[in-house]
Amino acid sequence: MGSVIIMVLITLAASSILHAQSLHLTDPDRAALLEGEEYDIAWQEDGIDTVSITASGTRTPLGTESRGDFTIPIAADIPATDGDYTWEAPWIDSVTFEIDIRGFDASGNQVAEDQREYGFRPAALTGKMADGIYLDLHEQTHQRLYIERGGRIVNAYLSTSSRNYNWLPPDVHMDTPHDHAGVFHVLGKELMHWSALFEVEMPWALRYLKGHFIHATQPDQYFALGAPASSGCNRLTYEDAFELYESTPIGTRVEVIGPNG
């Protein structure tokens, strides 16, 4: 009798192993996703009834201050046997994020999960693969300074365009707030630049065109970062400006992306 019981238990254990519930993300099989592009999120499953998919990550910080996490719903209650789901990548407030897929049984209990990390590239940087600084100011919302190295976006900071959002050709300048789009280079660095025109200090300043600098702003102005706010410079927090200053040699490429690209 004992041997019969043992054989039954072994058979049940083997059956459980053979029918183990599993879920594995297989696509998109790439390092980074581009805003506005469609991607097939694909998976392999065994013993799963439905899946739900989300994108998640940590928002671009404000200097050393966290701006919290985000979760973007992608799809829910999809039959697991479908095997894939087409998703158009939105703008994401981070240089990296995760796609998370969760599997559920017929009773709605989560029984499996898998994640995969991706880099993010905003649509404004489509095809822009040169190393250097990119100021994405093409909209008046979520304005960012991106750092690219080796064809990868490796960092992002909240930044600003001019508060007037007035775009002029690079050879045209005026005393009122304005911006210039184009490709420039860091022409000089100053630990503390004094603006005689606006009578303000500009810590950790990188000059790339005439009187246009990337520099730190006062902490009481941090609330305005990420939107038009300056007199024509590109502002950062103290911590971000210092980090950028320390890592950026003179001659570094700077591309300012305006509303017309």
CATH number at residue 100: 2.60.40.10
Amino acid symbol at 125: L
Q: Where does the pLDDT of residue 12 fall: very low under 50, low under 70, confident under 90, or very high at 90 and above?
A: very low
Phi (first) and psi of residue 229, to 5 degrees:
-155, -15
Q: Domain containing 116: what range?
A: 23-121
Q: Based on the domain organization, do 78 and 159 belong to the same domain? A: no
For 194, the token pair is 């004094």
* β-bridge mates for residue 27, sequence order: 42
Over residues 132-162, the pLDDT tens digits come to 999 999 999 999 999 999 999 999 999 999 9
Enter the pTM of the model. Answer: 0.90
Q: Are residues 152 and 65 both part of a single domain? A: no
Identify the CATH number of the domain in which residue 215 sits.
2.40.440.10
pLDDT of 60 strictly over 50:
yes
User: What are 230-253's pLDDT values in tens digits?
Assistant: 999 999 999 999 999 999 999 999
Any idea which of 11-25, 40-54, 109-123 has the lowest mean pLDDT?
Answer: 11-25
Please count the residues of the chain.
261
Q: The tokens of 5 are what?
A: 């019981």
Strand residues in the chain grouped as ranges (E): 22-27, 32-34, 38-46, 50-58, 69-79, 84-88, 96-104, 110-121, 132-136, 144-149, 152-158, 182-185, 188-195, 200-209, 212-216, 234-236, 253-257
Neighbours of 63 (CB within 10 A): 19
pLDDT band at 3; cut points 50, 70, 90: low
Whether the pLDDT of residue 17 is over 50: the answer is no
What pLDDT, in 10s, does the model give residues 205-228? Answer: 999 999 999 999 999 999 999 999
Q: pLDDT tens digits for 76-91? A: 999 999 999 999 999 9
In a domain, 3, yes or no: no
Q: What's the pLDDT tens digit per position in 19-49?
A: 579 999 999 999 999 999 999 999 999 999 9
Q: How many domains does the chain have?
A: 2
DSSP letter, residue 148: E
Question: Is 18 domain-assigned?
Answer: no
